[in-house]
A = this chain, B = another copy of it.
Amino acid sequence: MVKSALSVLLVLVAISSTFAAKYIPKSGKRVPQTLSRGWGDQLIWAQTYEEGLYWSRSKNKPLLVIFHLEDCPHSQALKKVFSEDNEVQKVLDEDFIVLNLVYETTDKHLSPDGQYVPRLLFVDPSMTVRADITGRYANRMYAYEPSDIKLLVGNMQKAKKLLKSEL
């Protein structure tokens, strides 16, 4: 009886060490955060502005920086249209470096008319923020609404005309 209890115990120990429970927070299991944050799972996202600038310069492609907040309904609405628009996604994937941020950087050039979300800015590979490429709202020049997606596509074409062409 003692012997069989021991065997059961050994088996239990073996099982528990083989299937060692991975850490799970007290508040419950979390879904891993993605770098895309829903703006396009198939795109390759830079993590930081420095990284975005580096890739923009080295690949000679314009950078698109999206400032947004996960619990902002305007950001969410734009994100849905943006992520589901195949033209936007294809052009960004092939011709742009992309970065989305939920936290402001220290670079004032990225907030030409204030810090608000959603706010989309293009940066030329020469490291010039394209403050000239704007949406349709005079008070928030870099904001876009879901219905502005064609305007955004047009602005992407503008951003692709680089400020300094290669020699």
Closest to A45 in B: B33
Find out whether the CB atom of B50 lies under 8 angstroms from the CB atom of A103: yes
Chain B residues near A22: list those with CB within 8 A. Answer: 42, 84, 86
A48 an interface residue at 8 Å Cβ cutoff? yes
Q: Could you say how many copies of this chain the assembly holds?
A: 2
Interface 9-residue window, one of A24-32, A110-118, A124-132: A24-32
Chain B residues near A20: list those with CB within 8 A. Answer: 84, 86
Determine the main DSSP class of A at the interface with B.
Answer: loop
Q: Give the number of chain A interface residues (Cβ < 8 Å).
A: 35
Find out whether the CB atom of B34 lies under 8 angstroms from the CB atom of A32: yes
Which residue of A20, A32, A50, A104 has the most chain B CB atoms within 10 A of its CB atom?
Answer: A32
Find out whether the CB atom of A89 lies under 8 angstroms from the CB atom of B42: no
Find out whether the CB atom of A29 lies under 8 angstroms from the CB atom of B42: yes
Find out whether the CB atom of A106 lies under 8 angstroms from the CB atom of B32: no
Known: A33-B34, A36-B32, A93-B23. A101 touches B47 (CB 8 A): yes
Known: A50-B106, A103-B51, A106-B50. A33 touches B44 (CB 8 A): yes
Q: Select one of B30, B86, B103 contacting A47, CB under 8 A.
A: B103
Interface positions of A from 63 to 97, Cβ below 8 Å from B = 84, 86, 89-90, 93
CA distance A11 to B130 in the complex (A): 45
A157 an interface residue at 8 Å Cβ cutoff? no
Chain B residues near A148: list those with CB within 8 A. Answer: none
**Chain A residues in contact with chain B, CB under 8 A?**
20-25, 29-30, 32-36, 40-42, 44-45, 47-51, 54, 84, 86, 89-90, 93, 101-106
